[in-house]
Chain A
Amino acid sequence: MTAQQAQIAPDLTVDEVRVRTRTGSAEGSATFIGAAAAALGLVWLVYQRVLPFSGVLGFWVCWYVMFLAVYYLMARMQWDGLEARNRLASVAFATGGVLALLIVIDQVGYTLFKGEGAVRHVNFWIKSASLVGPQTTSMKIGGVFHAIVGSLEQLGLATAIAVPLGVTAALYLVEIGGGFAQVVRTIVEAMTALPDMVAGLFIYVTLILSLGLGKSGFCAAVAIAVTMMPIVARASEVVLRIVPGTLKEAAYAVGGTQWRTVRDVILPTARSGLATAIVLAMARGIGETAPVLLTAGYTKELNLDPFHGPQTSLPLFIYYAVHVLATPPYVERGFGAGFALVVVVLILFTIARRIGGRAPGELSKRQRRKLSREAS
């Protein structure tokens, strides 16, 4: 070993070659583009011309498989097997990432595109569907205002129930702990994966069948809260757990009680993370369909009172429009409601991203300005 090293060492000093840390290269890009183009041409020829296949999806699946094959062959011509496999793996994983991106863009874009016909009329946003019959083709009549109101009221109620309970449960898991907390954590984890249909069944059986409450926005809100609560609890637990222990110890050392420590140190420190957890749970909650289906009832009328009478929400409106009524004009309205729903979810998601992503205790610009004002 030492003899070898002695031989190698002087060589290294003689011709030093700068190590390239960049991974991309002209050959790499050219191989990639060439393989993509070759596969496209070949699949187009075989799939569309020679063999009588049809279907857009099948075309792209075939293209992808062909692309990987061509890419590997081209890589194998230039590099050894190890390097070729390495490049093939990189490309395969990268296309996985691109696929995820495409799916999201496609989902959101398709709904927005199809819903555009209905939502560009102002009445769609400010009228209820009370005058809309199954065959009302004109989009200038009626809208989904009743469903927007229902969605927002139900989401508000569900948040008011689920967030205090979820955050308190998370505080219990983190701050008190112990054997019982372990049981609660297991249950919370199990509830996160509770089928949303079961949450709806539960509320249907308890509140509506056993207690005799009529179907109402409130029942729907409780059902949504059952699905939201474990999401809030789990996400909050993660956030509360990364509050630095030194901060807590400092609070206890200056004589703080546990309650004051939680109120003045732990919760403010974890504020941005908690807010993200809550807003993400709200984004999940507003899209819940199955629980609402059993508990809210369906109506075409505007119902401002969530405690009495059936109240429609956006997902429920889509369900009825597309699955139950299923006439072409109603499907178009359903896509309009989908547009509204996607917009609400995107807004909530953007808010969550804006307030989230900061480490616990890291201050926003406004908080820093406020602090410096107070200091001066």
Chain B
Amino acid sequence: MAVALTSEPAPAPPGPPGDDSPRKIISTVSAGDKAFRGVLRSAGIAVLVTNALILIFLILRSLSAFHRAGFGFFTTQAFYPELSGQFGIAALLPDSAEIAVIALAIAMPVGVAVALYISEYAPAGLRGPMIAVIDLMTAIPSIIYALWGLFFLMPRILGTDEWLAFHLGFIPFFHFTKPNFLSYFVGAPFIAGVVVSLMVIPIITSLSRQVFSQAPQGEREAAYALGSTKWGMVRTVVLPFGRAGVIGASMLGLGRALGETIAVTFILTPPTFHFTIHVLEGGGNSITAEIANFILQYDTKGQAALLACGLVLFASTLIVNSLASLVINRSRSGAATAD
């Protein structure tokens, strides 16, 4: 560049006076490239088509269920699709959401703490291994989490549940209306939420970590220069910078928690169709658990009803995830981590 600046400017090529319009750029694309671009484009289209097909087939196959249940589909807290039109998601969807919210309430603080530790506090030599651990958490199959939750966590958490119910029972969520036997605590939404939270933690951690590490060096140094401690710097620079990223990551985690199947199916026993905010009481249900338990047993009518539930689940995760990417892309940190 420096050489070009000091050398004589090249004389402008002679052209017809008054013709300032930009030169036309002609690039010839070879036949091979045309075919190649066609292949790439068709892969893009295939992705769209797959997604559209998912939507179309779910809608087509569940239409009959919507016809039978009518508006009651959204207000009925029961699910007997084979016998009558008495079925709906008024219990299933809130139950799913409840478990997802419990999962998020645990996963968000832990996930952000781990992300901050990796990006700000961990010694350089430990950073790589910690990232590997988080990646491994993502790679562990959900059925392994489910086994762990059912056989390892469940017996050990019941005492804690009891303690919560009898000392924090004045909080509506922890209120316990059933007799005081440990067996009534088994299979509660709270336990399912704890297990699902472990699957959500790596999602929140890995995204938040990327956002935190993008916090501008200049602002960090400015905070230190003003006499801030490390925590002060994190609180005033890193966290505000990463706020939108954390919110977006948490919403992605919420989407994942809504769609989680196996852990929820294993733990929620017995399946009930009555929504309750008392999360410590055994029983409960979710859209995914209901589908997993019954789709292979039901007749066509019942399957249509379950597919309608699947459609609602698909729509709700789609909305949550679109909102998440909107939040991430609109934010300052999101723009920094776009690619």
Contacts and interface: CB of A to CB of B under 8 A. Distances in A.
Interface of A: 53-58, 61, 82-83, 85-86, 88-90, 92-97, 99-101, 103-104, 106-108, 110-111, 114, 165, 168-169, 171-173, 175-176, 180-181, 183-184, 186-191, 193-199, 201-202, 204-206, 209-210, 226, 229-230, 233, 238, 241, 257-259, 262, 280, 283-284, 286-290, 293-294, 315, 318-319, 322-323, 331, 334-335, 338, 341-342, 345, 348-349, 353, 357
A168 B42 CA distance: 9
A345 B139 contact: yes
B140 A287 contact: yes
A198 B57 CA distance: 11
Interface stretch (B8-16, B30-38, B83-91, B218-226): B30-38
A140 B301 CA distance: 44
A193 B140 contact: no
A107 B152 CA distance: 9
B158 interface: yes
Contacts of A258: 29, 33, 36-37
Contacts of A190: 51, 318, 321-322, 325
A217 to B, nearest CB: 17
A189 B162 CA distance: 41
A55 B262 contact: no
B322 A176 contact: no
27 contacts: A55-B162, A56-B159, A57-B160, A86-B229, A92-B113, A95-B113, A97-B130, A107-B144, A110-B152, A111-B144, A171-B43, A187-B51, A198-B58, A198-B259, A201-B295, A205-B61, A229-B50, A257-B32, A258-B36, A284-B139, A286-B141, A287-B141, A290-B262, A294-B296, A315-B143, A331-B151, A342-B144
Given A90-B231, A318-B147, 19 more contacts: A55-B160, A61-B160, A83-B229, A90-B121, A93-B114, A93-B116, A97-B113, A99-B114, A114-B147, A169-B40, A183-B48, A189-B325, A195-B314, A201-B307, A286-B141, A290-B261, A290-B262, A335-B147, A338-B143
Contact of B36 (A191, A205, A262): A262
A327 to B, nearest CB: 14
B275 interface: no
B230 A90 contact: yes
B137 interface: yes
Contact of A106 (B133, B148, B320): B148
Nearest to B310: A201
A103 to B, nearest CB: 6
A348 B234 CA distance: 36
B114 A206 contact: no
Interface residues of B, number: 97
Contact of B255 (A96, A184, A193, A199): A193
A186 B324 CA distance: 11
Contacts of B110: 96, 99-100
- SS class, residues of chain A in contact with chain B: helix
Contacts of A101: 130, 133
A82 B152 contact: no
B44 interface: yes
A353 B132 contact: yes
Interface in B310-332: 310, 313-314, 317-318, 320-322, 325
B134 interface: yes
B46 A169 contact: yes
A184 B47 contact: yes
Contacts of A108: 140, 144
A263 to B, nearest CB: 9
B170 interface: no
Interface string B93-116: 000000000000000001001101
B207 to A, nearest CB: 12
A315 B132 CA distance: 24
B291 interface: yes
Contact of B313 (A176, A198, A238, A284): A198
A258 B121 CA distance: 44
B198 A103 contact: yes
A108 B313 CA distance: 30
B266 A198 contact: no
B156 interface: yes
Interface in B221-268: 229-232, 234, 252, 255-256, 258-262, 265-266
B196 to A, nearest CB: 12
B255 A58 contact: no
Nearest to A331: B151
B202 to A, nearest CB: 8
Contact of A202 (B58, B138, B161, B232): B58
A82 B150 CA distance: 43
Contacts of B335: none
B153 interface: yes
A107 B137 CA distance: 9
B54 interface: yes
Contacts of B37: 176, 258
B120 interface: yes
B214 to A, nearest CB: 14
Nearest to B61: A205
Contacts of B313: 195, 197-198
Given A57-B160, A83-B229, A86-B229, A204 B295 contact: yes
B148 A111 contact: yes
Given A93-B121, A187-B48, A202-B58, A57 B157 contact: yes
Contacts of B211: none
Nearest to B132: A353
Given A201-B307, A202-B53, A322 B261 contact: no
Contact of A338 (B36, B144, B314, B317): B144
A229 B325 CA distance: 19
B231 A97 contact: no
